[in-house]
């Protein structure tokens, strides 16, 4: 039977032997030590963190309160930066929309100005062409008053009054002065009645 036990011991896995012989007893001893120090009033967790930060490999696994604050501050800064980026993007989109609106309005203004210019040119062309009445009355100004008075006497009364309206007071006086008195009186009466 003792041979059987020895054979079984030889067959036993060396990993299990290491686990039961070393790891479990060390874990139990550490746990008891932590409990005893905690009851005694020693802050074992902070002491372990402090000592663990001095060990190169373990220090990367342990986070201290300062590191936690730094990490939280980094997260806040990152979040603030993301919010600012989103706000910048939104403002840029609004700027693009407003720029498009400005361009549309400028095009509309240009169309309206072109339309207005075309209308003004059309009206200017019409206004630049003097009426035949104005042309004739200008001719009477340049004529000899005796000759112009003779022509006016032979015209229709309404036409004569229309021409008299277009000439200046001085020319009108000269023309009426050169006419026969009856015809001058008749044209003057018509002239006055059409003014009211």
Report the candidate in 166, 147, 145, 156 with the shortest Cα–Cα distance to residue 186.
156
Domains of the chain: which residue ranges? 29-62, 65-129, 132-195
Q: How far apart are CA 102 and CA 97, in angstroms?
A: 9
How far is the CA of 48 from the CAs of 22, 51, 86, 99, 108, in angstroms?
A: 22, 5, 43, 62, 76
Q: 190 is written with which tokens?
A: 């018509």
Predicted local distance difference test score (pLDDT) of residue 64 = 66
- Residue-by-residue pLDDT tens, the chain, 196 positions: 566 656 665 566 777 777 778 888 999 998 998 888 888 888 887 777 777 777 776 666 666 667 778 888 999 999 999 999 999 999 999 999 999 999 999 999 899 888 888 887 776 655 556 677 777 777 777 777 788 778 878 888 888 888 888 888 888 888 888 888 888 888 888 888 887 6
Q: 138 is written with which tokens?
A: 């200008």
* CATH class in words for 132-195: mainly alpha
Predicted local distance difference test score (pLDDT) of residue 94 = 94
Query: Three-state DSSP class for 62?
Result: coil
Cβ–Cβ < 8 Å for 187, 157: yes
Q: At what angle do helices 169-178 and 157-166 cross, to 10 degrees?
A: 140
């Amino acid at each position: 039977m003792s041979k059987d036990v020895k054979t079984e011991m030889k067959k036993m896995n060396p990993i299990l032997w290491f686990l039961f012989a070393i790891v479990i007893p060390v874990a139990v001893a550490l746990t008891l030590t932590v409990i005893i120090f905690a009851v005694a009033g020693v802050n074992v967790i902070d002491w372990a963190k402090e000592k663990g930060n001095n060990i190169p490999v373990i220090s990367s696994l342990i986070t201290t309160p300062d590191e936690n604050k730094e990490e939280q501050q980094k997260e806040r800064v990152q979040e603030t930066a993301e919010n600012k980026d989103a706000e910048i993007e939104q403002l840029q989109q609004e700027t693009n929309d407003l720029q498009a609106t400005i361009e549309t309005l400028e095009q509309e203004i240009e169309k309206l100005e072109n339309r207005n210019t075309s209308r003004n040119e059309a009206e200017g062309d019409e206004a630049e062409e003097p009426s035949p009445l104005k042309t004739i009355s200008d001719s009477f100004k340049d004529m000899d008053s005796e000759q112009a008075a003779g022509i006016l006497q032979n015209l229709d009364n309404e036409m004569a009054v229309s021409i008299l309206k277009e000439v200046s007071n001085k020319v009108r006086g000269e023309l009426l002065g050169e006419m026969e008195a009856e015809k001058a009186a008749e044209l003057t009466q018509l002239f006055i009645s059409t003014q009211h």
